Structure 1
Amino acid sequence: MIRAILLKFIKRDQGGRLMRIRFIFEKGGILEGDLKEEYGAPQTIALLKQLGKLTSLARHSRYSGREVYIPIPDSFLAPKEKYSIYISKGDITYWRAWRDDGMEPVISFFYGPERARSSQGDEPVNIIGHIREDLISLAEIIGERIWLQGAEKVEIETLSD
């Protein structure tokens, strides 16, 4: 049975409702994150709101250091919005192949400060949220578990209140 790791992106829209996304990982743990309006990625957030429910694999990054990434369908192609290559510990990001089509877009969380990059060099990401500060140590545990034990099945679901 799948245990829950819950990453919540929370945002108050103009109607005062909350938007969340849940990542339910196979091996457990619960993380929560807030969307940051000041990050300025409204089109990315709008696309994620349409995500619905899907199953994917959470993997550890090879080039960006302490990053766990989750591929999402090719139909979720957001534009660059206030993007950066400099990532803080706890940031939640969206990335896609900005240079060409051919790689699936991903949602990631970082459990250490990093520079976003790939085998081709720096790779800008849309920073869309941040894991709650009181859960950063749990994000480190989950990230290290995926790094050491390999990919984990994950179920992703977006919700609005």
Structure 2
Amino acid sequence: MPQNRAPLREQLFRIVGLIVGSVVGIVAVVVVEIVLGLDTGIWLTTLIIGIVVAIGIGVAGAVVGGRLGQRLVGDRIEVAMREQGEKKWRHGRLTVSRGQMSFQRYAYQIRIPKGEPLDLRVTRLGADSGRRPPLRQIWSVNPQLHIVELETDQGPKELAALPSRLTELHVRLGQ
């Protein structure tokens, strides 16, 4: 298990996304009912029940997803990494030991390992300055991630992770 669990505020982006997606789906169903001319009471009831269910799904998703996520990831740290100056992020997980890390890339941003792990010897991990990805990259990377510089034996890279994971990464690398 991870040494430090991610605070709930760091998972807020995922939870809100789950609730908003559910509410958008409910609203779409209600709009179809209105367009088809169904009774006002039916679509109003559907809307109220739908919103309550969406909030329930969001809360349940947060609880179950948090526990399942911890079990899937274990003591690995989920990150996005890219070559310095490159625009495309590669999502994956790190297995970290003192001075070294192994980056296992994910396929399509989901937790399915893709290819061989990239073994890196870390010479320096930059401090967390609070730098975040730009909003135009919101579809490919979580805007709550903080970006730090990473010096390795294979050249400079940029690493993006949740703040609590960056703290854990510094501790595990011994820096």
Question: Structure 1-normalised TM-score?
Answer: 0.29
Higher RCO (Cα < 8 Å, 6 or more apart): 1
Which has the greater radius of gyration? 2
The structure where helix makes up a greater share of residues is: 2
Question: Structure 2-normalised TM-score?
Answer: 0.28
